[in-house]
Structure 1
């Protein structure tokens, strides 16, 4: 099963200048619980936003740079297709960004774990618009803004119809 995991604003904004636009600790915990123990597929720019590889996950990094060197334990590939082929034996594989990778992976995805941040932001990276004739909302859990979360957000699970 190929699962996209993303946090996107009401206007589908993901980030700007290589940075997230919000700090939501409960979303980080949710991401960790979903992806721990699994393969995660990401673009090089997304990978480079991490201070180090995320623990307890196998990183597949997509880049056009054939000379790109990633830390030990990470696998560098030159296409989404190569990443999917390397991870095909896995029961669940998580695509974690960025915007270009989400757009490329959407046609292959079986499920989307989307954190919808209830605010609109100026951004340069966006999550692709979901075609509601293809995707069905399975569940959602609302989290209000509080002292640790400047914005309210909703964990949504979408499945392909």
Structure 2
């Protein structure tokens, strides 16, 4: 099981403002769906709350919600009260899927990824455990109150990716940057 973080950020590392994303890049949302579908996603309660109700839980994924509130519950959410609980829930879900695949004749078991999808404090918590980052850079200056973690020297851009900007159908420039940890893989 590998742990990856995924986010979109404007200049200055802004990822959110007032519980929302302050831009629209549908191509980024499509990329998010493509990468995370069939995998576990871990998010904070505020990120869960920011999702439109019609998309909660995110379909085709295990939705793990990290919260300090012991009474919090939501339909379709697997509640975790610590990073360790969140990872344990993802591991259990992955193990169950592997057993189901092995029990089905001709099916192949796959190693599902675990994706951390926000917010800022949740990214900071899981960054030391991650082996991969998928960052959409959005070419905008916008005010914000939630920021991405700093991508330090232990992260190297994956070879062969384009540095060219793409143009969203909304007129906003963006690009995808994938990073791999340069140092040995963290132990989860």
TM-score under structure 1 normalisation?
Answer: 0.92
Is 1:80–2:83 an aligned residue pair?
A: yes
How many residues get paired?
A: 158
Structure 1: stretches of 5+ with no match in the other structure? none
Distance in 2, Cα, partners of 1:18 & 1:106: 21
Distance in 1, Cα, partners of 2:156 & 2:124: 18
Mapping 1:14-53, distance limit 5 Å: 14-51=15-52, 52-53=56-57
Distance in 1, Cα, partners of 2:36 & 2:91: 16
> Cα distance, 1:141 vs. partner?
5.6
Distance in 2, Cα, partners of 1:13 & 1:85: 30
Measured on the aligned residues, the alpha-carbon RMSD in Å equals 1.4
Query: Which contiguous aligned blocks of 4+ residues in structure 1 show a shift greater than 4 angstroms?
Result: none
TM-score under structure 2 normalisation?
Answer: 0.80
Mapping 1:115-126, distance limit 5 Å: 115-126=136-147
- Corresponding residue for residue 105 of structure 2: none
Distance in 1, Cα, partners of 2:88 & 2:12: 32
Which of structures 1 and 2 has the bigger CA Rg? Answer: 2
- Corresponding residue for residue 60 of structure 2: 56
